[in-house]
A and B are shown apart, each in its own frame.
Chain A
């Protein structure tokens, strides 16, 4: 099965409070108050001088230091923002060259917005499995650097921070085992933030049911129940989205929300960032199932059950 051999995250040094970032974005006091009191934000990393390349490379380089880079057969750069003004057509190839992975087949995956990292893990695993080389690896690199206000302040409910993460994927390795993956896309909401108010209302009404269906199916395919899940790792847009989406308080209590006030929303990187945090803090219970979930504007719902191994979350080398 697919295994996660390593996951690393990266953040620039500059930390700002939500009030400082709100001022940079020109928000008024009421809006600023809402982000702290209602949406649960506190601080985040934000460096306006940081390039996309400098954001995404450090986490990937940390992983490559642990392994023989020649084992990396695939480099998959996944990003939430898919307009050409955010990510140029050569970005994935530039990352490949910067990492010295010239022989790796390299491409980008996108158009699931903040859910794309889970599909990237699944694609990486399928390619490795089909190739049949147990020594081959795939490096999934994530990171977005929105340059315009419209993408830095999402729907007036999320403030995007700077953070990235990378994951090393194997087939039948010794790391965290991926036991199931379920994804559903509802294309009627493909206009995303440009949807009509009626469509946005419809999406809000549909979201709790569909998210629960996807989570339940992922648990079922992994031969466990949602009660068995030790922790749910989700993106960090804010706390209110998850209060609205996960109605069951006991289930919502399994969600890891501590990075929302710490890092805010880092778009496609959130789930891997949160996994890295739990690993670094040694908070995974080995051999007990855990779950990634993701919701991507446009509109994709995904859930992936995994079982941390005793190797998961060891100290950084």
Chain B
């Protein structure tokens, strides 16, 4: 693989909630109202979750100009928005250049960003893409604003990849069963330097090798946890660890998803 992480930006708990994109259940679900009509809703009650569109706006504003103009834009989420009025993948495409092949990949809980990265890698290896963007979005459930029990907050991460040389190459994206995780991680401990294992929701900390590896446990963000940590700490990690592994485990199936990044030269 020659796909390489160029940069990543993140947003957590945006301060100004967006109340535009969530019509109430009574007005129907997706898509479609007559031309010129408005959806039958008014913003009311507690602040609504930010919505994917606002997360995309906040993320796109942070992107450096150098990563604009991708040829592939992938939007992922574990939880869909209630309303499907806006095609947010197309909007992200527009915000970042407008010439990409874009779509959303979902329906896989925490595994969706990992599968999206497999798609980006496959497109790179088959010559269909050399510059891609991956958005990982997570909107809190609609009742989150009324809860005080640590309910998940809105969060998002935008990662830019290309094929230039340097640290951050995507070595492997793989899914393994719960019984295979520890053995798989053990094989990733480098000969020199240490392995960093970024632990997302549901990952058994006991799977981290006792020798030659350090864990980093993500405390915030459900679907975005490991990706937010990557965005926040990548600059430090790439100069400290030769190998960085992002790991998240689906609660229903127990399947663990791993992204192996080669950081600095070993």
Check A127/B119 contact, CB under 8 A, given A107-B106, A156-B35, A190-B90. Answer: yes
Within the complex, which residue of B31, B102, B123, B175 is in contact with A105, where a contact is CB–CB below 8 Å? B175
Q: In the complex, which residues of chain A have a beta carbon less than 8 angstroms from the beta carbon of B106?
A: 89, 92, 107-108, 110
Within the complex, which residue of B36, B115, B126 is in contact with A129, where a contact is CB–CB below 8 Å? B126
A155 to B87, CA, bound (A): 16
Check A194/B119 contact, CB under 8 A, given A81-B30, A83-B31, A87-B80. Answer: no
A153 to B78, CA, bound (A): 28
- A93-132 CB mask vs B (1 if < 8 Å, else 0) is 1000000000001111111110010010001001101110
Contact B33–A85 (Cβ < 8 Å) = no
Within the complex, which residue of A151, A189, A200 is in contact with B30, where a contact is CB–CB below 8 Å? A151
Contact A190–B122 (Cβ < 8 Å) = no
Q: Does B266 contact A (CB under 8 A)?
A: no
Contact A155–B32 (Cβ < 8 Å) = yes
Q: Does A274 contact B (CB under 8 A)?
A: no
Contact A83–B90 (Cβ < 8 Å) = no
Contact A83–B119 (Cβ < 8 Å) = no
Contact B29–A185 (Cβ < 8 Å) = no
Within the complex, which residue of A93, A127, A191 is in contact with B85, where a contact is CB–CB below 8 Å? A191
A99 to B79, CA, bound (A): 23
Contact A83–B85 (Cβ < 8 Å) = yes
- B36-54 CB mask vs A (1 if < 8 Å, else 0) is 1011000000000000000
Q: Does B233 contact A (CB under 8 A)?
A: no
Within the complex, which residue of B27, B87, B118 is in contact with A192, where a contact is CB–CB below 8 Å? B87
Contact A197–B36 (Cβ < 8 Å) = yes
Contact A126–B87 (Cβ < 8 Å) = no
Query: Which chain B residues in 73-108 approach chain A with CB under 8 Å?
Result: 75, 78-95, 98, 100-108
Contact A123–B119 (Cβ < 8 Å) = yes
Q: Shortest Cβ distance from B95 into chain A, in angstroms? A: 7
Q: Does B252 contact A (CB under 8 A)?
A: yes
Q: Shortest Cβ distance from A303 into chain B, in angstroms? A: 13
Q: In the complex, which residues of chain B have a beta carbon less than 8 angstroms from the beta carbon of A113?
A: 31, 87
A contact residues, range = 35 or more
Q: Does A289 contact B (CB under 8 A)?
A: no
Q: In the complex, which residues of chain A have a beta carbon less than 8 angstroms from the beta carbon of B112?
A: 107
Q: Shortest Cβ distance from A146 into chain B, in angstroms? A: 7
Q: In the complex, which residues of chain B have a beta carbon less than 8 angstroms from the beta carbon of A67?
A: none
Q: Does B16 contact A (CB under 8 A)?
A: no
Q: Shortest Cβ distance from B112 into chain A, in angstroms? A: 6
Contact B103–A111 (Cβ < 8 Å) = yes
A7 to B91, CA, bound (A): 32
Other 19 A-B pairs with CB < 8 A, given A82-B104, A126-B128, A150-B30: A83-B80, A85-B82, A89-B79, A89-B107, A93-B252, A108-B108, A110-B104, A112-B103, A126-B126, A130-B125, A151-B32, A154-B32, A156-B34, A185-B98, A185-B101, A185-B102, A186-B90, A187-B95, A193-B32
Q: Which residues of A are interface residues toward B (Cβ below 8 A)? A: 77, 81-93, 105-113, 116, 119, 123, 126-127, 129-131, 146-151, 153-156, 183, 185-194, 196-197, 200, 296-300
19 A-B pairs with CB atoms under 8 Å apart are A83-B30, A85-B28, A86-B29, A89-B78, A90-B107, A93-B108, A93-B109, A105-B115, A109-B104, A110-B106, A111-B75, A123-B119, A126-B126, A129-B122, A147-B29, A185-B101, A187-B93, A192-B86, A299-B90
